[in-house]
Structure 1
Amino acid sequence: MAPKHKSFSSKSYLFLSISLLCIFSLIIFIFSKSSQPSSLSPSSFNYQSTPNFPADSIKVFILNLPRSLNYGLLDKYWSLTSDSRLGSEVDNEIRKTLVPKSSRFPQYPESPLIKQYSAEYWIMGDLMTPENMRMGSFARRVYDVKDADVVFVPFFATLSAELQLGVKKSVFRKKVDNEDYDRQREVVDFVMNTEAWKRSGGRDHVFVLTDPVAMWHIKAEIAPAILLVVDFGGWYKLDSKASNGSSSDMVQHTQVSLLKDVIVPYTHLLPRLDISENQKRDTLLYFKGAKHRHRGGLVREKLWDILANEHRVIMEEGFPNATGKEQSIKGMRTSEFCLHPAGDTPTSCRIFDAIQSLCIPVIISDDIVLPFEGMIDYSEFSVFIAVSDALQPKWLIQHLRGYSNPQKEKFRQNMAQVQSFFVYDNGHPGGIGPVAPNGAVNNIWKKVHQKLPVIKEAIVRDRRKPPGISVPLRCHCT
């Protein structure tokens, strides 16, 4: 009996061992399969995955300029002891708390004088954001210029100009002892010596020139490029002080055009008011700003005299520094309409502050061009008045009083729908992080994308021209 029992035990153990081995192999197989993320697993949607860009996204190549021409200018700005210009108090306070070591992506100035032109910073921040974090961006960064639709020139032109104006304004319009001019020259000389510029004549290059005086000395040289500007006011007006009456220094209107260039919004300085927080508005019309302006802004002084003593109208002279900002917030949030007359140029950041404050813009500027037209219908939330009508005594006030409460409420509802279009700040330090899908940066790239067929056609036309043949830079268009 003993041998029989031993034989049975061996077979049992063998069967049990094989069974355990099979079970163990099955567990390993199942575990290995479960560790592979399926197409619907959460891991496929986190920032470790490659973002899905829209099929019609624009492909952007960033030109390799030295850091000294972009983020290095911020290092230079924050290293200043102070800035004595109006509105710079907030930055002087920030300097006291800054960590001595420089950051790779320093913050942009909070001084309203400079901050209103910060588009260059936020556009650059979006492109510098790591690929796996660029969720929702309309611009797709490429690393071979041959794959690009456009070439982005990463020069903080506005900050360069403002640095010069703050440190040594007396030489700003000169070329000698002018660091801003030296930087402009460095950028243009570098760009024009690249194969990308030679191939396209610069027509597919993108420059951000939000301050009307940005790259003032070399505007004519970069005129073929795609220019991101707040308006055309600084381009087709002759500055008598600079030219001494000579038209040879004039930058011709034919160098800018809505065919190739993009109007971008100023950066708003006042915080957004949600439509759910809107309250009763006791003031009919509100304005805060400088009374005396030049060129097209001369109408402002005339309007001031007409409106200053009208009932339920507030006309305040001032600048949106620390005190002025609080006054502007209160004024715009408690007024039904906000006056927007032309200044030194046809537009200003005031209109975008009004939109964020749900204060119906009253635009009195016959030459104004506005951001994202074609994507936005400003007449759905703004009132446009001809200068000739506005300067008739009592006309403007009577016109505004003719709007019913339901009409004004509809204006505000429509305004609330487009507030996000004019927001640059993505809420991330240094601007490095995902942008709002319907924010200012994406909408700027969408407008540039709309220009591509015209740009590509112009490049092809240039290539087939016989040697020695030249054509005007641009048509005169509106």
Structure 2
Amino acid sequence: MPPKNTTTLFSVPSLLISLSLLCILSLSLFFLSHTSSPSSRPQTAPLPHANSFIKVYVADLPRSLNYGLLEKYWSLQTDTRLGSESDNQIRSTHLWKQNLKYPKYPENPIIKQYSAEYWITGDLMTPEELRTASFARRVFDSGEADVIFVPFFATMSAEMQLGVGKGVFRKKEGNEDYERQREVVDFVKRSEAWKRSGGRDHVFVLTDPVAMWHVRAEISPAVLLVVDFGGWYRLDSKASSSNSSDKIQHTQVSLLKDVIVPYTHLLPRLLISENKERQTLLYFKGAKHRHRGGMVREKLWDLLVNEQGVIMEEGFPNATGKEQSIKGMRTSEFCLHPAGDTPTSCRLFDAIQSLCIPVIVSDNIELPFEGMVDYSGFSVFVAVTDALQPNWLVRHLRSYSDKQKNYFRQNMAKVQPVFMYDNGHLGGIGPVPFDGAVNHIWRKVHQKLPMIKEAIIREKRKPPEFRDLVVMIGQPVFSPC
């Protein structure tokens, strides 16, 4: 027994507590010292293990509904639409005939920006031995598939009709696009795969805002690959009543079942090693006057057009406009991205490829691959109410230091491949980049599989007459809960 005046400095319990605190402190210091700097943080989620994949069955549509549409497009004697100069040149030299089995996609920027349908289909049509980098594994029995891909070139179908008979586009009589839409829907609905799932495991590419306009209620249970929901959440501009049948139901599209995909960028990629000093603060090229949500653009234009260091150019998608955009985006620190007729446009992806920091002024924007890509690491998001305050936006952009802007551009360089479709092969037939847009799209579809399967199982228990009623009235046919 110790003497009464002896003081014990550490009892056993207090010693254990002290040691525990010391360990926690040491671990904290370790993690703080090993945390990566902002510039080294990855801006994309890691791609899945090589053994991960999604099983895709390709619906056996007639060729006339995909590559046959391209043959028909290139066989036109001429095309008077805006931006068609390059395609008319290709027609005159017969360059499109280099690969008759898989013709090239149009260069007309109005059409090319929606070319996801071409690259996704091209990947699936590539011989299997070349598809080692593809996240989608093609299967030839629909019963084995996770999803059924419907290879309808909906954008080409719509653009063909707009080019030769725009006046009947919203009508059914004399509308070849409607006839093709009807043929696609009737074909898939007759299949056993559709009957098993009610279409919930079918995948359609609808990048053009007017693609498959007449049959959207019928395909709304499916997984829709869209550039945004802007073409769905609106009334037709000519509709006089909110009760118009032209109203597209919000319930037909949802982030729960659908996938937001990138536009095809129209400007060439600028590597970070090629980046040069940028003299302009903010750049925008496009149409000033837009409808609906794009009216914000007109207000922004009036606020910014006379600001020092800001260039606002009225522009159109032709060869001259492309060269101006390349120069403008590569020599500017920031590129303005306001909403147009829809919340987004290919301008965002041109800015990324040009290493021009996007300034996104669009409160309702949907972005591709969120959860995989951290847009805050290379973009500036501005609320519409802030952007419309006089002098606010320019002051805000000038507050960013050179270090911050360099951080944005370094991160942008890392994600450039994620938004690229072109695989560099004639006709799009060849291996896709492992980290490119096509694989990221299939990864997002893969994330939907648990909910798709749950919805199919839940729907089977409902009386057939109820299911028919749901489709008929255009209410939600995909129920996640």
- TM interval, short-chain normalised: 0.7 to 0.9
1:72 equivalent in alignment to 2:42: no
1:91 equivalent in alignment to 2:94: no
Q: d(CA) in 2 for partners of 1:141 and 1:204?
A: 15
Q: Could you list the per-position Cα deviations for residues 211-247 of structure 1 after superposition, in whole angstroms to 9, with x for gaps in the alignment? A: 0000011111100000000000011111141565533
Which residue, 175, 179, 192 being the options, matches 2:176? Answer: 179
1:436 equivalent in alignment to 2:433: yes
Q: Could you list the per-position Cα deviations for residues 133-155 of structure 1 after superposition, in whole angstroms to 9, with x for gaps in the alignment? A: 11200000000000100000010
Which residue, 369, 374, 392 being the options, matches 1:372? Answer: 369
* Residues 1:273 and 1:476: Cα distance change in structure 2 (over 3 Å): farther
Structure 1 segment 213-252 matched on structure 2, within 5 A: 213-242=210-239, 245-252=242-249
Q: d(CA) in 1 for partners of 2:67 and 2:60?
A: 13
Q: d(CA) in 2 for partners of 1:200 and 1:175?
A: 28
1:473 equivalent in alignment to 2:471: no
Equivalent residue for 1:359?
356
Conserved 8 A contact 1:256-1:474: no
CA displacement at 1:466 relative to structure 2? 3.4
Conserved 8 A contact 2:252-2:476: yes
CA displacement at 1:476 relative to structure 2? 9.7
Equivalent residue for 1:459?
456
Q: Could you list the per-position Cα deviations for residues 153-191 of structure 1 after superposition, in whole angstroms to 9, with x for gaps in the alignment? A: 010000000000011111111111010001001101111
Moved more, 205-214 or 234-243: 234-243
Give ranges in structure 2 of 5+ residues lacking alignment: 1-48
Conserved 8 A contact 2:114-2:263: yes
Q: Could you list the per-position Cα deviations for residues 58-108 of structure 1 after superposition, in whole angstroms to 9, with x for gaps in the alignment? A: 000000000000000000000001111111100000001116867000000
Q: d(CA) in 2 for partners of 1:61 and 1:261?
A: 18
Q: Which has the larger radius of gyration?
A: 1
- Normalising by the residue count of structure 2, what TM-score does the alignment of the two structures yield? 0.86
Q: d(CA) in 1 for partners of 2:354 and 2:186?
A: 43
Q: Could you list the per-position Cα deviations for residues 346-395 of structure 1 after superposition, in whole angstroms to 9, with x for gaps in the alignment? A: 00000000000000000000000000000001010000001111001000
1:241 partner SS: coil
Whichever residue aligns with residue 181 of structure 1, its letter is: Y
Equivalent residue for 2:36?
none
Conserved 8 A contact 2:149-2:204: yes
1:342 equivalent in alignment to 2:346: no
Q: d(CA) in 1 for partners of 2:244 and 2:451?
A: 30
1:188 equivalent in alignment to 2:185: yes
1:219 partner SS: helix
Q: d(CA) in 1 for partners of 2:479 and 2:308?
A: 44
Whichever residue aligns with residue 290 of structure 1, its letter is: A
Which residue, 255, 265, 270 being the options, matches 2:262? Answer: 265
Q: Could you list the per-position Cα deviations for residues 402-432 of structure 1 after superposition, in whole angstroms to 9, with x for gaps in the alignment? A: 0000000000000000000000000000000
Q: d(CA) in 2 for partners of 1:169 and 1:255?
A: 25
1:249 partner SS: coil
User: Percent of pairs identical after alignment?
Assistant: 76
Equivalent residue for 2:111?
114
Whichever residue aligns with residue 283 of structure 1, its letter is: T
1:327 equivalent in alignment to 2:324: yes
2:217 partner SS: coil
CA displacement at 1:434 relative to structure 2? 0.3
Equivalent residue for 1:164?
161
Equivalent residue for 1:5?
none
Whichever residue aligns with residue 58 of structure 1, its letter is: I
Whichever residue aligns with residue 341 of structure 1, its letter is: P
Q: d(CA) in 2 for partners of 1:100 and 1:414?
A: 37
Whichever residue aligns with residue 299 of structure 1, its letter is: V
Q: d(CA) in 1 for partners of 2:96 and 2:180?
A: 25
CA displacement at 1:474 relative to structure 2? 5.2
Equivalent residue for 2:305?
308
Q: d(CA) in 1 for partners of 2:426 and 2:126?
A: 11
2:89 partner SS: helix
1:60 partner SS: strand
Whichever residue aligns with residue 222 of structure 1, its letter is: I
1:414 equivalent in alignment to 2:411: yes
CA displacement at 1:475 relative to structure 2? 7.3
Structure 1 segment 4-83 matched on structure 2, within 5 A: 54-83=50-79
Conserved 8 A contact 2:200-2:478: no
RMSD: 1.6
1:340 partner SS: strand
* Residues 1:476 and 1:329: Cα distance change in structure 2 (over 3 Å): farther
Whichever residue aligns with residue 85 of structure 2, its letter is: E
Equivalent residue for 1:140?
137
Conserved 8 A contact 2:455-2:479: no
Whichever residue aligns with residue 229 of structure 1, its letter is: V
Equivalent residue for 1:21?
none
Conserved 8 A contact 2:74-2:96: no
Equivalent residue for 1:386?
383
1:468 partner SS: helix
Q: d(CA) in 2 for partners of 1:436 and 1:156?
A: 22
1:426 partner SS: coil
1:207 partner SS: strand
Q: d(CA) in 2 for partners of 1:124 and 1:345?
A: 25
Conserved 8 A contact 1:253-1:476: no
1:288 equivalent in alignment to 2:285: yes
Q: d(CA) in 2 for partners of 1:99 and 1:121?
A: 18
Q: d(CA) in 2 for partners of 1:244 and 1:88?
A: 36
Q: Could you list the per-position Cα deviations for residues 35-66 of structure 1 after superposition, in whole angstroms to 9, with x for gaps in the alignment? A: xxxxxxxxxxxxxxxxxx93220000000000
Q: d(CA) in 2 for partners of 1:225 and 1:180?
A: 20
Conserved 8 A contact 1:243-1:249: no
* Residues 1:307 and 1:228: Cα distance change in structure 2 (over 3 Å): same
Q: d(CA) in 1 for partners of 2:184 and 2:348?
A: 32
Whichever residue aligns with residue 199 of structure 1, its letter is: R
Whichever residue aligns with residue 76 of structure 1, its letter is: K
1:284 partner SS: strand
Conserved 8 A contact 2:335-2:359: yes
* Residues 1:404 and 1:58: Cα distance change in structure 2 (over 3 Å): same
Q: d(CA) in 2 for partners of 1:217 and 1:97?
A: 36
Q: d(CA) in 2 for partners of 1:431 and 1:100?
A: 13
CA displacement at 1:335 relative to structure 2? 0.2
